[in-house]
Structure 1
Amino acid sequence: MVKRIWFITGISSGLGKCLAQTVMEQGDFVIGTFRNQIQADSFNSSHKDKAIALVLDISKPEQIDNALQFIKQKFGRINVLVNNAGFGFAGAIEETSMEEVRNVFEANFFGTLKLTQTFLPIFREQKGGHIIQISSHGGFKAFAGFGIYNASNFAVEGFSEALSQEIAPLGIKLTIVEPGPFRTEFAGTSFHQANVTINDYVNTAGVFREKMKLVNGRQEGDPEKAAKAIYDITNLDKPPLRLPLGKIALLTLRSKLESVQADVDDYRHIAENAVFCER
């Protein structure tokens, strides 16, 4: 059986690290990314013949192009692309500066979009492959104090849902993974907050900020189990478009679906009347 080649961004810690380890244990080959050369060198010395690490900042398009050229020259193919790199951000909408918004979107949205676009020609030439977009349950439902992060993941889910329809006839698969809270560094060293706080939002966005501090290290999700679940869906002939992970994620998605359904049902008469009528 031919080893599959995985390209996984952000494997220094958390879900990315666990996924890289799972992929190697299952006998596939990992090309993983770090933002630190020392970390990349250490990884390479420990995983010869099983994986290779590259230094990549996904907010820098030229580094993404260089990564593609490296892969084409050394391997000539890619089987699974996992867009995992990114970071969390808390702050009320009014508290968040445009510079902070742009930083979130550069990493969480534009980097993911650029990587996806860059690898699509390889997948099209192969007539196959699987794109895994690591989003969040917060990419499906928004929370007060999490709005900019929500928006960046909503954007990822929006283009990914459209892309899945565009590439399906070409034999290329796509899955959006929506984890709930997992015991990674997402709520710790990887978490950013708006520099400004406004007292009027202390009982909304402020509550969320404090909650993120308290849950760090106590989240329900096991990243090793999440990694195995992600690996397993790449073996399916018909993987899901969306894969929520964790009990909280399931509750989040159901809550959003119920809310939307209620609005559709309660205001259907208004929607139906907003059309041209023949006289």
Structure 2
Amino acid sequence: MKTQKTWFITGASRGFGLNITKAVLASGDKVVATVRSKAEELVAQFNNNENLFVVTLDITNEDQAKQAAAQAADHFGRIDVLVNNAGYGLLAAVEEATAREVKQNYEVNVFGTLNVIRAILPYMRKQRAGHVINISSVGGLSSYYGWGVYGSTKFAMEGITEGLALELAPLGIHATVVAPGFFRTNFLDESSLSNTTNIIDDYDETVGTMRKFAIEANNKQPGDPEKLAQAFVKLAASENPPVHLPLGNDTLTRFREKTAAFEKDIADWYEVVTGTDHDDVVAKA
């Protein structure tokens, strides 16, 4: 018989968050869904489902994150799965992105996620069980022009999750970072994607091309968000979940291209790579 779990999902009003919420409720589990505003609209969308508890949360507010975690634990008694989904994209050349734009992207995608992790983990540590799932991106595995800053926030999540997995394993808690490719959500809409206000013409052949691609590819992305949501349900049900889970053939292809290029660089520069140890260390080898 399936053991009912309680999920805590950020950014649940649309996109991946909404799709995952639907799939989790359909599986019979409970969901604490966080939204920045209009909580009553999400409640109504699910016809006042008793397994759904909606909480207002701006993840950049650490006090709110702690309050939301406490509300979740009080309402359902425990928190078994955390899905850090809230975040947004920034399309800009690295030089184009202003200091304010960069800081805000990190404030939400990295520091906001850490706020939620710190708020939820005390409950998981107390029960000596749980699963932290952080959402990264294909851009968190391999960067590309126009996505350098945004990708770096997702690279951060890859590294944070790797560390978390090692730290939490002795406590009976899993950590996974999921890297989706391009899925047919509203990520390329203005609601989820911010474009820099500082355009530099010299980047027209690279970042300019990416801006045009973002417009043309919107609503034509290869990934199916409903299938992604089912992958999350399967992931949370696993007794031995992976630390890294890329989703989408585009993500897998991009990552394999990167690792192949990396291996070629190592082969081409092997003597330099291996020639930097102290002589006394080399002599002992």
TM score, norm. by length of structure 2: 0.94
Q: State the Cα distance separating 1:175 from its structure 2 match.
A: 1.0
* Alpha-carbon distance between aligned partners in 1 of 2:43 and 2:3, rounded to the nearest angstrom: 22
2:88 match: 87
* Alpha-carbon distance between aligned partners in 2 of 1:114 and 1:263, rounded to the nearest angstrom: 38
Residue 235 of structure 2: which of 233, 236, 248 is its match? 233
* Alpha-carbon distance between aligned partners in 2 of 1:182 and 1:244, rounded to the nearest angstrom: 12
* Alpha-carbon distance between aligned partners in 2 of 1:145 and 1:213, rounded to the nearest angstrom: 13
Contact 1:183 1:220 in 2 (8 A): yes
> AA paired with 2:159?
G
* Alpha-carbon distance between aligned partners in 2 of 1:234 and 1:73, rounded to the nearest angstrom: 22
Aligned: 1:155 with 2:156:
yes
Contact 1:34 1:56 in 2 (8 A): yes
| Unaligned runs of at least 5 residues, structure 1 | none
Note the 1:71-110 alignment, pairs <5 A.
Answer: 71-110=72-111
Note the 1:49-198 alignment, pairs <5 A.
Answer: 49-188=50-189, 189-198=191-200
* Alpha-carbon distance between aligned partners in 1 of 2:3 and 2:174, rounded to the nearest angstrom: 19
Q: C-alpha offsets along residues 33-86 of structure 1, whole Å, 9 cap, x if unaligned?
A: 11112xx11222423312011111111112101102212322331000000000
2:43 match: 44
Aligned: 1:30 with 2:54:
no
2:255 match: 253
> AA paired with 1:212?
A
| More deviation, 44-53/166-175 | 44-53
TM score, norm. by length of structure 1: 0.96
Contact 1:89 1:191 in 2 (8 A): yes
* Alpha-carbon distance between aligned partners in 2 of 1:181 and 1:109, rounded to the nearest angstrom: 20
* Alpha-carbon distance between aligned partners in 2 of 1:15 and 1:73, rounded to the nearest angstrom: 26
Contact 2:9 2:34 in 1 (8 A): yes
Q: State the Cα distance separating 1:205 from its structure 2 match.
A: 1.3
* Alpha-carbon distance between aligned partners in 2 of 1:241 and 1:140, rounded to the nearest angstrom: 13
Contact 2:66 2:120 in 1 (8 A): no
* Alpha-carbon distance between aligned partners in 2 of 1:268 and 1:204, rounded to the nearest angstrom: 31
Q: Give 3-state SS (helix, strand or coil) of 2:205's partner.
A: coil
Q: Give 3-state SS (helix, strand or coil) of 2:237's partner.
A: coil
* Alpha-carbon distance between aligned partners in 1 of 2:229 and 2:76, rounded to the nearest angstrom: 24
Q: State the Cα distance separating 1:145 from its structure 2 match.
A: 0.7
* Alpha-carbon distance between aligned partners in 1 of 2:149 and 2:61, rounded to the nearest angstrom: 21
Note the 1:194-205 alignment, pairs <5 A.
Answer: 194-205=196-207
* Alpha-carbon distance between aligned partners in 2 of 1:165 and 1:2, rounded to the nearest angstrom: 26
Alignment length (residue pairs)? 277
Q: Give 3-state SS (helix, strand or coil) of 1:204's partner.
A: helix
* Alpha-carbon distance between aligned partners in 1 of 2:262 and 2:48, rounded to the nearest angstrom: 47
Q: State the Cα distance separating 1:155 from its structure 2 match.
A: 0.8
* Alpha-carbon distance between aligned partners in 2 of 1:253 and 1:25, rounded to the nearest angstrom: 32
Deviating 4+ runs (over 6 angstroms): none
Contact 1:90 1:145 in 2 (8 A): yes
Q: Percent of counterpart pairs with the same letter?
A: 38
> AA paired with 2:220?
R
Contact 2:13 2:42 in 1 (8 A): no
* Alpha-carbon distance between aligned partners in 2 of 1:49 and 1:109, rounded to the nearest angstrom: 32
> AA paired with 1:143?
Y
Q: C-alpha offsets along residues 88-141 of structure 1, whole Å, 9 cap, x if unaligned?
A: 110001111010001101111111111112211111111111111111111111
* Alpha-carbon distance between aligned partners in 2 of 1:62 and 1:213, rounded to the nearest angstrom: 37
Residue 219 of structure 1: which of 218, 221, 224 is its match? 221
| Unaligned runs of at least 5 residues, structure 2 | none
* Alpha-carbon distance between aligned partners in 1 of 2:127 and 2:262, rounded to the nearest angstrom: 39
Aligned Cα root-mean-square deviation (Å): 1.2
